[in-house]
Amino acid sequence: MLDALTLDQMRMFVAVTETGSFRAAATQLSRVQSAISHSIAGMETQLGLALFDRSGHRPVLTSEGQALLADIRAILLKVDTMRARARGLGEGLELGISIALDPQFPVELVASALKAVQDAYPSVGVRLTIAPMGTPIAALRERRCTMAIMALDMPDPMIELEELAFLWRVAVVSPHHPLALRAAPGPAVTAAELADHVQIVGEDPSHLTEGRDFHVLSPRTWRVSDNDTKRVLILKAIGWGNLPIWLVEKDLNEGKLVRVPTAEYGQKGETMLRAYIAHRSDEPLGPASRLFRKALIEQVQQEKISAP
């Protein structure tokens, strides 16, 4: 009878398959060998199946045992996950965390920090939302996220800001665009010259910066919602724009993009933003959120992304 099977029997069965013998399984589980043998025999009786072929020196899974192994492992995994979740709830562990991420910040570093969270707290769910400009702070104000990684300094007494890094952006253009002729060393491109060319600009979907532009030098603009779209339009020689150096470093090295030496940005066309990790001051972070913060800070320090 399947209902009579115990989790202990299932763990013994998996241990035998993983170690290759009843003796090794007994050592792994700190049991006597006879207990392992008796448990597996009882399991076979209950199922009406032979799980191991014992005719050789070592027990070998039968085809029936092999077929059941994946199911038993899945059952044990679900039970262990449930126990971890229950233990975490008792410790104040969050059911899930929600993060609003400004696209100026390298998502690879965020992913590495989230992997640390998954390893430590596998039961915690994560929602990661790309949120440009004022959207992260709006999400915090409206309690739509647990934490935010933002590149716009908008002081709010209800929100704790902690500086993460300097983020460097660079003005770039396709080598097939007329502005590329000015990429060689020489006089910087003036605002009057830029007025003749389209600037690809990221748009803030929130209302917090309505009517304001940041680092917009050309009166002719195309508005986009994300950096990936902006990059593609720039690669197609539609216009020029500012993008994070980490996003276009390969394009610059391969000659697919060139820097625009604008007078306002300087010969290298670089501008700098401060990145912050933020959360509401009236909602203390739980264990998973604290671990994410710690892991992200460590990633920033390891990668030295503050250097242009």
Q: What is the DSSP letter of 189?
A: B
CB 257 within 8 A of CB 247: no
CB 227 within 8 A of CB 154: no
Q: What is the pLDDT of residue 183?
A: 65
- Domain ranges for the chain, please list them: 2-90, 96-165+274-303, 166-271
For residue 205, CA distances in Å to 3, 188, 208, 223, 264 come to 55, 32, 9, 11, 26
Q: What is the pLDDT of residue 297?
A: 92
Q: What is the pLDDT of residue 225?
A: 82
Q: What is the pLDDT of residue 114?
A: 94
Cross-strand partners of 280: 159
Cross-strand partners of 202: 224
**Residue 41 to residue 60: CA distance in whole angstroms:** 14
**Residue 198 to residue 191: CA distance in whole angstroms:** 12
pLDDT tens per residue across span 183-215: 666 677 877 888 888 988 887 766 655 555 556
Q: Give the ranges where 142-198 is alpha helix by DSSP (H).
A: 191-194
pLDDT by residue for the chain (308 residues), tens only, comes to 456 688 888 888 888 888 888 888 888 888 888 888 888 888 888 888 888 888 888 888 888 888 888 888 888 877 776 766 565 555 577 888 999 999 889 999 999 999 999 998 888 889 999 888 788 888 888 888 899 998 877 777 778 888 888 888 888 999 999 888 766 666 778 778 888 889 888 877 666 555 555 566 677 889 888 889 999 999 999 998 989 999 999 999 999 999 888 877 766 777 788 889 998 877 788 899 999 999 999 988 887 654 43
Identical fold, 96-165+274-303 and 166-271: yes
Q: Return phi, psi of residue 302, to 5°.
A: -70, -40
Rounded to two decimals, the pTM is 0.62
Q: Name the strand (E) or helix (H) holding 284.
A: none
Which residue is it, tokens 């929100």? 159
Burial bucket for residue 302 (CB in 10 Å: 0-12, 13-18, 19+): exposed
Query: The domain at 166-271 falls in which architecture?
Result: 3-Layer(aba) Sandwich (3.40)
How long, in residues, is the chain? Answer: 308
Closest CA to 132 of 222, 206, 207, 200: 206
Fold observed for domain 96-165+274-303: D-Maltodextrin-Binding Protein; domain 2 (3.40.190)
Tell me which of 1.10.10.10, 3.90.1150.10, 3.40.50.1360, 2.60.120.260 is the CATH number of domain 2-90: 1.10.10.10
